[in-house]
Amino acid sequence: MSHERGDKEDLIELEQLLAGPHKILYEGTSKYQNVLVLESPNIQMYLNNQMQFNSMDERMYHEAFVHPAMSLAPKRDRVLCIGSNDGLLLREVFKYADVKQVDLVGISVRLLNAIKKMPEMNTLNERALFDKRLSVFKDEIHTYLASASEKYDVILVDFPDPVNEQIGNLYSLQVFNGLFSLLSEDGILVCQSLSPKKVPLLFWSIARTLERAGFKTLGYHLTVPSFGDWGFHLAGKKTVVWPNKSIAVPHRTLPPDISAWFQFPTNVLSVRKSARVNTSDNPNLHKLYSPLLPAPTANLIALSDLQDYDNSHSSENGSSDTEDLIELQQLLSGPHRILEQGSFDGNQVFIIQSKDVRMYLDKQLQFSSLDERIYHEALVHPAMTLIPKRERILIVGGGDGFAVREVLKYTDVRNVDLVDLDPLVLKVAKSVKKVASLNEHSLSDARVTIYQMDAREFLSEQRDLYDAIIVDFPDPADEVVSSLYTAEFFRIMFQQLTPNGILVCQSHSPESAPSVYWSIGKTLKSIGLNTLSYHVTVPSFGDWGFHLAANESLEWGDRKISVQTETIPVKLDSWFHFTKKIRSVRRNAKANRMSNKNLHKTYRKEVGVILTSARRE
């Protein structure tokens, strides 16, 4: 699987992993691509079932949060930090030698003391919670604002997401009025403001509320892999302008020039005029948060390992996150250490350490062991459930063996042919112990036959028919790979299916690249096939889509997956639903043909990444 992030986010994340504790499991080069497999420790913290940070990319978030504000402030003597129990924001603040005092407010002292006792967290936050310049106040923010009087040069506001009215009121005009009175005349405030891409009205409503309190604001945003596009607002009593200056202190993830962070697409900017002020008398921010709320957690497999977790608590305050729970399930099903678990001041906290195995192809993330099952279970099981018989299966691409692992769960499967062009990927999947363990040694199963060759060449020689064909090609980033997604090649594949057979094709992101996604679907339809489209969120890659195709009409109905899975909910209804915005792109999608190969051009336009290296098939 490839993805829309084949760009600086992967490179930055890889640099972070290589800068910290890690073990290179395999490194090599084939004539097709460079292959790197590494293992590194991973720490994640969940608050009320929502992931608060992932050590793989937390520096992207925290460095982006802290350093623009600290760089703009003419003085940094006194800093106020609201929230942030983990010390990761403080780690960045204490990089500035001229900081004399930092006040930490609105946190759980019990949780902070628990984190101070964890060697793993002290390593991650570089012992920021022990810095002598830090003063901790257990007061709730409203109480603190009512009594505080000294001015601050920088204020960092890291409120939780406004999942309910109580938390939404933290972003109220009344709170921002109090913060305005505490900020020095030349001071800078920064507030985390969620995703301008996913909830633009919420993002701009925070800005509007800050402005009503008297602040001048400047918004910015960036991509954090664990959370997607994420935004912040800088605010001051004077006009805030980014002077295109570089960050002066050491950091790992910031580009030399962050000016692109301050630019927003037209569709995001157009929402700004509709933003509303959030007041305690007329709270509305939590209502705007609803687009980020996932499907109900009732469809999930029970989290039996979370013995002390009160799932009803998260349901009542609306903070439950299906994808976070699914990922947490995967972590708990593998090797892990629970660093902390319990209730702190009414909040359920869970901190877990695990090991993440990752494969990079040409420095692009191919899979992460933290969530690869979400992708591969979604790729395989709908098709395997819909076909009437499952004796012979063909997988094109998928040399890592994960799709094969899922197919082999069906006892009636007699033969699996795996076709992948790159011998190095096949070698890694079969010979590197950690990877082979993850794919459960699927490539060594007696039912599996491996063909290291071009899929077009293989199909031109093949005569036997298959009950299902699973297409796990790379993204159509260039003309060569685009030819694999043409009507002509899909027709060749369908000629190798039994009359009741089904093809499933990974089809990129309907959220990030909807024209690419629907073009693949339209290409399948152009050769007379019926399609059923679906999508799922894979944390490492974002929203990801697939198309099922068959001669007969396809409907999921109330079918159930018959084999054991770790990440698939009992009901898949939400997988087959798309937002109106995503559906609206479908009508303008174009079929991709050999006479008019346009998919790679659409890909480059939507994804904004041009891949020049050879890609595997």
- Is 86 annotated as contributing to ligand binding? yes
Question: Which residues contact residue 608 at a Cβ distance below 8 angstroms, ignoring those fewer than 6 apart?
Answer: 7
Sequence letter at residue 54: N
Describe the crossing of helices 173-182 and 200-212 by its angle, rounded to 10 degrees: 50
- Is 347 annotated as contributing to ligand binding? yes
Describe the crossing of helices 599-607 and 514-526 by its angle, rounded to 10 degrees: 160
The DSSP secondary-structure symbol of 474 reads P
**DSSP class per residue in 14-41:** HHHHHHSS-EEEEEEE-SS-EEEEEEEE
* Residue of 281, 278, 283, 327 whose CA lies nearest to 301: 327
CA 132, chain centre distance (Å): 36
- Is 454 annotated as contributing to ligand binding? yes
The answer to whether 210 and 176 have CB atoms below 8 angstroms apart is: yes
In the numeric block, the tokens 């913290």 are attached to: 45
Catalytic residue, from 472, 475, 478, 543: name it: 472
Burial class, 263, CB count within 10 angstroms (exposed 0-12 / middle 13-18 / buried 19+)? exposed
Question: Which residues contact residue 194 at a Cβ distance below 8 angstroms, ignoring those fewer than 6 apart?
Answer: 161, 202, 203, 206, 230, 231, 289, 292
Sequence letter at residue 249: V
In the numeric block, the tokens 């982006």 are attached to: 64
- Is 161 annotated as contributing to ligand binding? no
Helix intervals (H) in 464-513: 479-482, 487-494
- 139 catalytic per annotation: no
First to last CA, the chain: 11
In the numeric block, the tokens 């929203």 are attached to: 543
Catalytic residue, from 57, 103, 158, 324: name it: 158
- Is 235 annotated as contributing to ligand binding? no
Sign of CA dihedral 139, 142, 148, 153: positive
Tell me how long the chain is: 617
- Is 415 annotated as contributing to ligand binding? no
**DSSP class per residue in 259-294:** GGGG---HHHHTTGGG-----SSS--HHHHTGGG--
- 472 catalytic per annotation: yes
SS3 label, residue 321: coil
CA 583, chain centre distance (Å): 22
In the numeric block, the tokens 């409203």 are attached to: 142
- Is 400 annotated as contributing to ligand binding? yes
> Which residues line the annotated binding site for spermidine?
62, 86, 376, 400
> Which residues line the annotated binding site?
33, 62, 86, 347, 376, 400, 420, 454-455
> Which residues line the annotated binding site for S-methyl-5'-thioadenosine?
33, 347, 420, 454-455
Q: Which active-site residues does the annotation give? A: 158, 472
